[in-house]
Amino acid sequence: MIDKQHLTNRFLSYVVIDTTSDPDNPAFPSTEKQWILAKMLEKELKKIGLQEVELDKNCYLMATLPSNITNEVPTIGFISHIDTSPDFSGTNVNPQIIENYQGNDIIINKAENIILSPDYFKDLLLYKGQTLITTDGKTLLGADDKAGITEIVTAMEFLIQHPEIKHGKIRICFTPDEEVGKGAHLFDVKKFGSDWAYTMDGSQIGELEYENFNAASAVVTIKGKSVHPGYAKGKMVNSLLIANNFIGALPGNEVPEKTAGHEGFIHLHDVIGSVEETKLSYIIRDHDFDQFEERKYLLQKIAFDFNEQYQENIVFVDIKNQYFNMKKMIIPVMHIVDIAEEAMIDAGIEPIIKPIRGGTDGSQLSFKGLPCPNIFAGGHNFHGRFEYIPVESMLKATEVIIGIAKKVAEKYA
């Protein structure tokens, strides 16, 4: 039996450390504060008895749990990321613990009247009678992905303490900068030495994912001409107004708030502008590669049409691919998904197999030769003040890791 309080304390010790990454810093890792948790974890992994514990110069922390059986079985891996999202503050995280939740509103910040309510976040009602950990309304919680780290460390510790549970060699890795899309960039697949792996980076209990968005970023730059407004007729070109027209030229129903499942979108997430110049920052997402390419082309086509209309080049589009749908790499090895599904069922969990409306380190790692489906870590409402996680979901995720290790040993015996 995994100790609930021990797991809770471990999670709380991680989330209070600020590990926010920085999308604007090309350094690796993008923030020095990620090293604080990485070095803490390095000591902890050695203390619980893992071997080959190595924290490299790029803040990748790898370790090994040696096999305790004589026959050769595949080496499997488990991966989570150290950093938290720059979309919301991760400084001075102050977790709140709600015991025996009964489906009521949770006042997470009385002074500012910030309420976590099942009227809006209906998933809360799944967790009646359980222990929830929330924010205090001022920061994110960091369960993405410190819950995953907690579950992996706890599972490895449990397997070390229970040698009667038979398993093959297991490799683990904690990565930096996943939230800014760089988590797998310098991951050494050969050194990791795993036949396949699982990222513990999903949300709701039961999630099991092996397909994700194809993803790109796009910056649309619009050039204007600033002239004294009293004498501007026929001379001023207001980039802000052109930007407004550009935004309106995109499909209004193909945005995050109006799509679900396999549906893709083009998401405007930042606008910086003046009369002289406006920059629109977009992310482009689609599970289908052809539709993904069509979305990229659409931005370029609109820019072309605007330039034709103004008879000069005033709209410029810079598109950068970020990651691709790992489904292509997982389908040939679907048995690794089947093993995770069986482990969930054995743990009394109903698997929820669905596409990721986002990406994980696993999407990039799969294309680097390390097939890597994604398993739930248990949290909800990531990247914001309403983030929460049921402790029981973390316990179940830990059971799934242990169950996968057992199943691989049994299947390849």
Over residues 30-86, the pLDDT tens digits come to: 999 999 999 999 999 999 999 999 999 999 999 999 999 999 999 999 999 999 999
Q: Which two tokens stand for residue 39?
A: 């070095």
Identify the pLDDT of residue 375.
97
The residue with tokens 């083009």 is: 266
CATH 3.30.70.360 residue window(s) in the chain: 214-321
pLDDT-derived band at 360 (thresholds 50, 70, 90) equals: confident
pLDDT tens string 106-143: 999 999 999 999 999 999 999 999 999 999 999 999 99
Using a 10 angstrom Cβ sphere, with 0-12 exposed, 13-18 middle and 19 or more buried, the burial of residue 99 is exposed
Q: CA-to-CA distance for 78 and 192, rounded, in angstroms?
A: 11
Apex 48 CA angle, 43 and 54, nearest 5: 45
Q: Which residues are catalytic?
A: 83, 178
Mean of per-residue pLDDT scores for the chain = 96
Query: Which tokens is 254 given?
Result: 């193909």
258: helix, strand or coil: helix
CA 253 vs. chain centroid, Å, equals: 25
309: confidence class by pLDDT, cuts 50, 70, 90: very high
Beta bridge mates, 389? 133
Q: Is the domain 4-212+325-411 a CATH 3.40.630.10 member?
A: yes
The pLDDT tens digits for 163-182 are 999 999 999 999 999 999 89
Give the β-pairing of 196-202 and 76-81.
parallel
Residue 340 β-bridge partners: none
pLDDT for position 413: 77
- The class that CATH gives domain 214-321 is alpha beta
SS3 12: helix
| Residue whose entry in the numeric block shows the structure tokens 């049994």 | 410
Alpha helix positions (H), 111-254: 143-161, 189-192, 239-249
What confidence score (pLDDT) does residue 278 get? 98
Locus of tokens 């939740």: 101
* pLDDT higher than 90, residue 1: no
What angle is formed at CA 74 by the lines to CA 202 and CA 394, rounded to 5 degrees? Answer: 25
Mean pLDDT of 387-399: 98
Domain(s) of CATH 3.40.630.10: residues in the chain: 4-212+325-411
Q: Is the pLDDT of residue 356 over 90?
A: no
User: Rounded to an integer, what distance in angstroms lies between the CA atom of residue 330 and that of residue 340?
Assistant: 13
pLDDT score for 181? 85
How many C-beta atoms lie closer than 10 Å to residue 197's C-beta?
26
pLDDT exceeds 90 at position 361: no
Q: State yes or no: cis peptide before 270, omega within 30 of 0.
A: no
CA 184 to chain centre: 12
Q: What is the pLDDT of residues 199-213, one digit of tens each?
A: 999 999 999 999 999
CB 186 within 8 A of CB 364: no
Largest CA distance in the chain: 86
* Residues whose CB falls within 8 Å of the CB of residue 191, separated by 6 or more in sequence, listed in order: 62
Give yes or no for a contact between 243 and 256, defined as CB atoms under 8 angstroms apart: no
Q: Are the beta carbons of 304 and 220 closer than 8 angstroms?
A: no
DSSP H or E segment with residue 291: helix 289-310
